[in-house]
């Protein structure tokens, strides 16, 4: 059901307002005035078509919590807990009076993300771009020149090993069999965990022949449990549990029959869509997650587009959809896009694309823009260290898509807040200099 505004209570007339408790010069207070909050109430109303039931949470509250969560690298539980303690957080989310209780349960943020999807969170990114324009952090000319690059957003999974996957698959099948009332011949609940631990010890001691032998035996345990449960499928009544068992049997069968260098390998049972991406890094040879394309302005490093690409596609094939997203979010297509050598053969014709390493026939201005391409690298590093791009906790490919856009929102919010703090510092410095000169009776240096 569509949200309903909270009416003021009689006791509110005697309580002090938030605007009387906070500093109006604070950057979060200024950010509140830069964002058009009515956009979320208008655009997100379509996700609540039902006219019955309990009214939904205020869209401004959810939008503000998502902004704060990704700007300050907080979890769902942490951002709700800090909201109770911080009056500036409450002012950003539209509260008039200071509240002493959490506004929502943290699980409500999960349901909101699932409800609005990638289309809904793109409105959050659009409003950060508009707020950047209003604050002066970026201008319209900057949106015409962008830099595009890709990175890996790792999934919140354990490091995949065959021994761990086999043991987890066996344990999950045994649990499903117990829920269905199936009496297995043998569950290997004692032998399998010990053998999985022994595989790791053999690998650590570099006794690979013994490790492979133990791993083969562990794989056999999982296969026996799978086949035993499959034989009892006819005895399980039709229902959600039976469908869950069939899906798990298919997944475990794929795990047991996958090839070492297959293209559809499973690296996590609860996240089978995770890709293994080799980035050529000395410290980390492989990263398990999803490829994300990031588009920033060439001058300020302001995020104007972020999109996830499951399946580990070639970088050149991601350039067209990335520029299309920028056109949707900013209402204008970039005239120039600067990329690295991984984008050769991109096939984009509507935007001029400069590739690193090629300077033939370029003007000095374009050569300077080409040198500026590497500025996107530290922006990605800040999104991973200061933001939450390093690890995605949301489930599935839709979770990757939503989380990538939200990480871009958090980066833009940090950029805007830093710009507002800089402006405030300059204003305070000018005021102090003016006061000192007036006290000394000298002319202001700017007036002289």
pLDDT of residue 57: 85
Residues 87 and 171 in one domain: no
**Residue 94 located in a structural domain:** yes
CB proximity list for 246: less than 8 A, separation 6 or greater: 233
Q: Are 424 and 27 in contact (CB under 8 A)?
A: yes
* Any domain includes 146: yes
Q: How far is CA 210 from the centre of its chain?
A: 41
Q: What average pLDDT does this structure show over 166-195?
A: 95
Minimal CA–CA distance to 125: which of 393, 306, 387?
Answer: 306
CA angle in degrees (0–180, nearest 5) for 185-188-194? 170
Are 146 and 173 in the same domain? no
In a domain, 44, yes or no: yes
Q: Is residue 205 part of a domain?
A: yes
310-363 confidence digits (pLDDT tens): 999 999 999 999 999 999 999 999 999 999 998 998 888 889 999 988 777 788
State the pTM of this model.
Answer: 0.89
Give yes or no: residues 103 and 78 share one domain.
Answer: yes
In this predicted model, what pLDDT tens digit does every residue of 186-203 receive, in sequence order?
999 999 999 999 999 999
**238 with 171, same domain?**
yes
Instruction: Give, for 351, the enclosing helix (H) or strand (E).
Output: none
Is residue 446 a part of any domain in this protein?
Answer: no
How many angstroms separate the CA atoms of 321 and 206, rounded?
46
Domain end, chosen from 214, 238, 257, is at 257
In a domain, 448, yes or no: no
Same domain, 28 and 96: yes
Q: What is the mean pLDDT of the chain?
A: 90
C-alpha to C-alpha distance for 404 and 122, rounded to whole angstroms: 10
Is pLDDT larger for residue 16 or for residue 152?
A: 152
Q: Which domain holds residue 200?
A: 162-257
3-state secondary structure of 224: helix
Specify if 313 maps to a domain.
yes
Predicted pLDDT of residue 4:
59
pLDDT in tens, 209-225: 999 999 999 999 999 99
**304 and 322 together in one domain:** yes
| Total count of domains within the chain | 3
Please, which residues have CB within 8 angstroms of residue 362's CB and are 6 or more apart in sequence?
354, 370
The tens digit of pLDDT for each residue in 263-307 reads: 789 999 999 999 999 877 778 889 999 999 999 999 999 999 999
pLDDT at 441 > cutoff 80:
no
Q: Are residues 223 and 307 in the same domain?
A: no
Q: What is the pLDDT, as a whole number, of residue 448?
A: 46
Lowest mean pLDDT among 15-29, 54-68, 137-151, 427-441: 427-441
Contact at 8 Å (CB) between 185 and 174? no
What would the pLDDT profile of 75-120 be if each residue is shown by its tens digit?
999 999 999 999 999 999 999 999 999 999 999 999 999 999 999 9
Over its C-alpha atoms, the chain yields an Rg (Å, rounded) of 27
> How far is residue 387 CA from its own chain's centroid?
9
* Pair 28, 168 in one domain: no
The whole-number pLDDT of residue 12 equals 62
Say if residue 445's pLDDT is above 80: no
The conformation of residue 372, written as its DSSP 8-state character, comes to: G
């Amino acid at each position: 059901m569509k949200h309903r505004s909270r009416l003021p209570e009689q006791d509110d007339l005697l309580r002090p307002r938030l605007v009387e408790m906070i500093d109006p010069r604070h950057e979060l207070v200024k950010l509140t005035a830069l964002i058009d909050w009515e956009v979320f109430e208008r655009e997100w109303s379509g996700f609540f078509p039902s006219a019955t039931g309990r009214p939904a949470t205020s869209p401004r509250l959810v939008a503000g919590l998502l902004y704060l969560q990704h700007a300050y690298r907080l979890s769902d539980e942490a951002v709700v807990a800090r909201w109770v303690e911080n009056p500036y957080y409450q002012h950003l989310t539209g509260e008039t009076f200071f509240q002493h209780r959490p506004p929502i349960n943290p699980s409500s943020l999960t349901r909101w993300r699932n409800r609005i999807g990638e289309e809904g969170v793109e409105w959050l990114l659009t409003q950060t771009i508009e707020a950047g324009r209003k604050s002066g952090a970026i201008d319209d000319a900057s949106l015409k020149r962008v830099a595009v690059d890709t990175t890996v957003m790792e999934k919140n999974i354990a490091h995949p090993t065959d021994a761990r996957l086999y043991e987890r698959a066996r344990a999950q099948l045994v649990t499903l069999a117990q829920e269905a009332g199936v009496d297995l011949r043998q569950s290997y609940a004692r032998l399998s965990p010990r053998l999985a631990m022994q595989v790791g010890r053999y690998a650590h001691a570099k006794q690979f022949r013994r490790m492979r032998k133990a791993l083969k035996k562990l794989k056999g345990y999982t296969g026996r449990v799978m086949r035993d449960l499959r034989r009892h499928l006819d005895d399980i009544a039709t229902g959600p549990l039976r469908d869950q068992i069939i899906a798990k049997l298919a997944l475990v069968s794929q795990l047991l029959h996958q090839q070492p260098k297959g293209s559809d390998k499973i690296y996590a049972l609860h996240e089978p869509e995770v890709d293994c991406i080799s980035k050529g890094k000395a410290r980390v040879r492989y990263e398990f997650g999803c490829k994300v394309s990031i588009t920033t302005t060439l001058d300020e490093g302001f995020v104007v587009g972020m999109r996830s690409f499951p399946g580990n596609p070639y970088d050149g094939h991601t350039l067209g959809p990335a520029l299309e997203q920028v056109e949707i979010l900013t209402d204008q297509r970039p005239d120039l896009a600067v990329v690295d050598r991984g984008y050769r053969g991109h096939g984009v014709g509507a935007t001029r694309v400069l590739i690193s390493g090629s300077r033939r026939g370029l003007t000095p201005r374009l050569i300077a823009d080409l040198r500026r391409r590497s500025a996107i690298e530290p922006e990605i590093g800040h999104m991973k260290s200061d933001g939450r791009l390093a690890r995605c906790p949301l489930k599935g490919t839709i979770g990757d898509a939503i989380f990538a856009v939200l990480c871009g929102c958090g980066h833009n919010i940090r950029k805007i807040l830093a710009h507002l703090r800089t402006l405030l510092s300059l204003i305070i410095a000018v005021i102090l200099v003016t006061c000192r000169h007036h006290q000394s009776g000298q002319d202001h240096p700017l007036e002289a």
